[in-house]
A and B are shown apart, each in its own frame.
Chain A
Amino acid sequence: MSLVEQFERGLAAPICLTWELTYACNLSCVHCLSSSGRRDPRELTTAECRAVIDTLQRMQVFYVNIGGGEPTVRPDFWELVDYATAHQVGVKFSTNGIKIDAEAARRLAASDYVDVQISLDGATAGVNDAVRGAGSHATAIRALGHLRAAGLTGFKVSVVMTRHNIGQLDEFKALADAYGAQLRLTRLRPSGRGADTWPELHPTADQQRQLYDWLAARGEQVLTGDSFFHLAPYGGPLPGLNLCGAGRVVCLIDPVGDVYACPFAIHEEFWAGNVRRPGGFETVWRDSELFAELRRPTSGGACRSCGFYDSCRGGCMAAKFFTGLPLDGPDPECVRGFGAEALAAADRTARPRPAPDHSHRPVPVAIGPRPGGPGRACDEHPLAGLAVAGPG
């Protein structure tokens, strides 16, 4: 059995997982995968978060991708980061940069075990702020400046690729280079608020091809979080595992402790359990019926007869689900165009609705929205940076 097939049958523990610490966010990005904005009052307490970290240490989960919402607005954010790294759980976190000042940057520069990625969805303020909100480009650039000034290198500039920023690929690369950062490009998913904006924001077929060629020419210089494996039929796999890791090698813990198969699948259909229940996260990972189902070999469904099935593996489960396509058929962005055909034939009113919605209310009420963190453009696939260099 190949390593990928082994991985598809699930691991003893996740390689890493995404942990949204809060739904609170100062931004309201139009494509936010978790519909973040307001804090959920049932959020895990500091003590509960520590208990989750204890479990992850016991299971030898190598690292967590912390996000939100804007995770740094939690008053115990740094405390939890320190607790995780002191317990052999590495931390990568995504932020819009709102709390990355000179002191935070110095703190980050001092630790090998913490990695940071700054979300930016346009190389220019015009393109970025149209998606992430007024002033968010300036906030991110200020954070990058602090990180560079602290002597940090190799931190990430994380971009969700849209119809409006694919023309800026070279500018993004130059910007990351200028700050000593590494560029990470990830796929726009129709998750959270993205369900409503995906039809207008997702790249055109021509742009997908342009993106693939650009990435293929840069190899491992540019990270992708393994998120473009659906483009592999254009000319072979990009660096990464090239498989859907949902419930197999990755998963999501949300701010209230709910466990979902992946960060892009916050919906009851992909709910596996809750860390507050007896047995905690370990039991969810090992015994969830949903995860057992995801780890069973799949038939490939409608895609089985396609000659490219072995390279794209049918694409992204969440992308199919939230665009109303069957899970055993083509990805909505199938490079052969089968997804576009299926979308044209599908009943758009029957699409599943992402839930729950934590968006800031459109009309501010008297108490006003809580200040929060970033509406992250995208979450990195946990398998980013996997080196397959094993012996045997």
Chain B
Amino acid sequence: MSTDPGASRDPGPPRFDLDRAWCVDERVAVRPEPFGALLYHFGTRRLSFLKNARVLSVVRSLADHPSARSACAAAGVGAAALPAYERALATLAQSRMIRERAGREGTGS
């Protein structure tokens, strides 16, 4: 299995701020699958995947929440599971599948 080559160029562990506002990059397609979802970035031409329905729910609702933390809470992610979701989101941010957005940008709710 491959890893994102971007990872090797990036010094240090991926940083991710749960308290900022995020959204799926405009150039990313998200396709649900029985195991979760596949993501494809048309710009980087990289594929990634989500391993379950809950993380898909988090990712899809990012744009509707003022913070990633709020999106996780709304999807039913408990405190114990939050670090795993934070790591997952950090990986997606590092591969540019999701990006930070301005506070009011794209807020749908």
Q: Interface residues, chain A, CB within 8 Å of chain B?
A: 1, 3, 6, 11-13, 15, 60, 62-63, 88, 90, 112-113, 115, 219-220, 237, 239-242, 383, 385-392
Contacts and interface: CB of A to CB of B under 8 A. Distances in A.
A391 B87 contact: yes
Interface residues of B, number: 37
Contacts of B88: 390-392
Nearest to B91: A389
A387 B2 contact: yes
B67 to A, nearest CB: 17
Contact of A392 (B38, B47, B55): B55
B89 interface: yes
Contact of A389 (B31, B35, B85, B95): B95
Interface of B: 1-5, 7, 27, 29, 31-36, 38-40, 42-43, 45-52, 55, 84-85, 87-89, 91-92, 94-95
A88 B29 CA distance: 8
A241 B1 CA distance: 5
> What DSSP secondary structure best describes chain A's contact surface?
loop
Contacts of A388: 1-3, 48-49
21 contacts: A3-B49, A6-B33, A6-B35, A12-B32, A62-B38, A63-B40, A63-B45, A88-B42, A90-B45, A112-B42, A115-B45, A219-B5, A387-B47, A388-B1, A388-B48, A389-B94, A391-B51, A391-B87, A392-B50, A392-B51, A392-B55
A3 B51 CA distance: 8
Given A63-B40, A90-B45, A392 B1 contact: no
Given A115-B45, A220-B2, A390 B50 contact: yes
Nearest to A61: B31
Nearest to B5: A220
Nearest first, the 4 A-B pairs at minimum CB distance are A391-B88, A392-B51, A239-B2, A390-B49
Contacts of B95: 387, 389
Contacts of B43: 112
Nearest to B92: A391
Nearest to B86: A391
B89 A391 contact: yes
B85 A391 contact: yes
